[in-house]
Amino acid sequence: MAQLWGGRFTKETDRLVYDFNASISFDQKLYQQDIRGSIAHVTMLGKQKILTEKETEDIIRVLNEILADVESGKLEVTSEYEDIHSFVEANLIGRLGDTGKKLHTGRSRNDQVALDMRMYVREEVVKSNTLLKELLETILTIMEDNLHTVMPGFTHLQKAQPITLAHHMGAYFEMFKRDSLRMEDIYRRMNYCPLGSGALAGTTYPLDREYTAELLGFYGPTLNSMDGVSDRDYCIEYLAALSTVMMHLSRFCEEIIIWNSNEYRFVEIDDAYSTGSSIMPQKKNPDIAELVRGKTGRVYGALMSLLTTMKGIPLAYNKDMQEDKELTFDAIDTVNHSLVLFHGMLATMKFCTENMERSASGGFTNATDAADYLVNHGVPFRDAHGIIGRIVLKCIEENKAIDDLTLTELQEFSPAFEQDVFEAISMETCVNKRLTIGAPGAEAMKTVIEKEREWLEKAVTEK
Ligand code: ARG
């Protein structure tokens, strides 16, 4: 039971209390941020002459050795320490003696942990954004390759109007693009350094907080020390953004599971991303898509948990805040793994374009266009809607598509039909006449793809 405090206590901590209070089992994930933060702190203390040059150099050297030793596995983080901060400080003192005891000058574990967590989350926000952009690249390539791949668009999971695969993928492009922009937004708002906030009220030492912030790549210091130690908004914002990423991934997975079913056969998930059954030899299951869909709940759970933890905490630091870590770490790992796995599955998936095209022509997806045809030939829309409805009914009875009927049969419903109707209601025409920006027509899609390609290239080089 190694702890940093104890001077004012007359008894040993109860073992169960110690274990309940300790965070080393999970905050050891922060060892790198903790040491890098300490190095910046000591560098600043040296510059401000709060420590001598020799003390500064010695502490930095040993901290770097500790970092290297943890990284190589030579030094193991063990549960005999209360938390990662105690572990680093105890090892420093063990290797350097009394000079090591000066590391914590002008600092509290409250601003220390606030810094560690912020640095960790900041790196993960960048990682999530990179993974999102890699996924966006693949989606955009599928779009470019499938401008003319006709498929049915659905509402209520009923065939509605023909679209293209490029257009369907484009909807997901927009979702993940917003997710990526959210990551950038969070980064901009969170990138301020809480170190120097002390326990809650700053310190009496002449710290240069601007300098520490700069050393650690922050835009500047946080501007209120009470808020500095007790702000976890950036974790909540990140968890909210991650929950939205999972919601998007889960919707996409749901569609892929449907498309991959024996009934649809719009896609075939690659063998490397599928699993079998222990009893049914014929089975090839979309487990990865199901797992991503299934893991969405635990990410939402982490968001709800932290919101609830934070809602009743008076200023400034309270130990409740230690609960910010485990579920946040779990959510981050879950989403970043899900993005990698989903991306791999999508990139290797085969699109069965013939089945998509056949399905689009078989489901009266051109009924709206047939009604529009009549409108263009002088029939009021409400009448046209009724005429096409009756034609659809006949087709259902005879198991035919609208364009399977002869011109004479069509003219029995309305004399406005002419030979050019067949061209007007072909799948290709239905799609390519939809040319307003955002619609599936190939020319409209080309404009959109060009814009998105330009944005993505700029977004990739900026970060
Ligand atoms: N393990 C603590 C946490 O994660 C570190 C800060 C401890 N501060 C304190 N005053 N006990 O929040």
Average pLDDT for 113-138: 98
Tens-place pLDDT, residues 265-282: 999 999 999 988 888 888
Percent of the chain with pLDDT strictly greater than 70: 99
110: Cβ below 6 Å to ligand 1?
A: yes
**Residue of the CA atom closest to atom 12 of ligand 1:** 322
* CA 265 to ligand 1 centroid distance, Å: 54
pLDDT score at 416: 97
Single-letter residue type at 407: L
pLDDT score at 154: 97
Percent of the chain with pLDDT strictly greater than 90: 93
pLDDT confidence band for 115 (50 / 70 / 90): very high
Q: Which atom of ligand 1 is nearest to the CA of 325?
A: 4
pLDDT confidence band for 68 (50 / 70 / 90): very high
* CA 3 to ligand 1 centroid distance, Å: 12
pLDDT score at 278: 83
Average pLDDT for 311-339: 98
pLDDT score at 342: 98
First and final CA of the chain: distance in angstroms? 43
pLDDT score at 1: 66
CA nearest 258: which of 277, 216, 235, 286? 286
pLDDT score at 277: 81
Tens-place pLDDT, residues 176-199: 999 999 999 999 999 999 999 999
Average pLDDT for 208-219: 98
Tens-place pLDDT, residues 19-32: 999 999 999 999 99
Cα–Cα distance for residue pair 301/391, rounded to 1 Å: 50
Q: Which atom of ligand 1 is nearest to the CA of 23?
A: 1
Tens-place pLDDT, residues 218-235: 999 999 999 999 999 999
Is the pLDDT assigned to residue 463 strictly greater than 60? no
* CA 69 to ligand 1 centroid distance, Å: 24
pLDDT score at 462: 64
Average pLDDT for 87-99: 98
Cα–Cα distance for residue pair 431/369, rounded to 1 Å: 10
**Residue of the CA atom closest to atom 4 of ligand 1:** 322
Average pLDDT for 64-74: 98
- Asked if residues 100 and 93 have their Cβ atoms less than 8 Å apart, the reply is yes
b/e map 64-102, b = 16+ CB within 10 Å: ebbbeebeeeebebeeebbbbbbbbbbbbbebbeebbeb
Indicate the average pLDDT of the chain: 96
For the chain, the C-alpha Rg in angstroms (whole number) is 31
- pTM of the predicted protein model: 0.94
* CA 266 to ligand 1 centroid distance, Å: 52
Helix (H) or strand (E) segment spanning residue 344 = helix 326-348
pLDDT score at 135: 98
109: Cβ below 6 Å to ligand 1?
A: yes
Tens-place pLDDT, residues 387-446: 999 999 999 999 999 999 999 999 999 999 999 999 999 999 999 999 999 999 999 999
Average pLDDT for 454-462: 85
Strand-strand pairing, 192-193 and 158-164: unpaired
CA nearest 167: which of 191, 135, 190, 144? 144
Which residues are catalytically annotated? Answer: 156, 277
Q: Which atom of ligand 1 is nearest to the CA of 82?
A: 1
Average pLDDT for 128-145: 98
Cα–Cα distance for residue pair 118/228, rounded to 1 Å: 11
Ligand 1: which of 121, 322, 323, 328 to mutate, judged by most atoms within 8 Å of the beta carbon?
Answer: 322
CA nearest 32: which of 113, 154, 116? 116
Average pLDDT for 316-343: 98
pLDDT score at 65: 98
- Asked if residues 246 and 337 have their Cβ atoms less than 8 Å apart, the reply is no
| 2 or 358, which is more confident | 358
253: Cβ below 6 Å to ligand 1?
A: no
Token digits of residue 17: 């209390």
Q: Which atom of ligand 1 is nearest to the CA of 199?
A: 10
Which segments within 165-303 are labelled E, that is strand?
A: 192-193, 220-221, 267-268
pLDDT score at 362: 86
pLDDT score at 2: 65
pLDDT score at 363: 86
pLDDT confidence band for 253 (50 / 70 / 90): very high
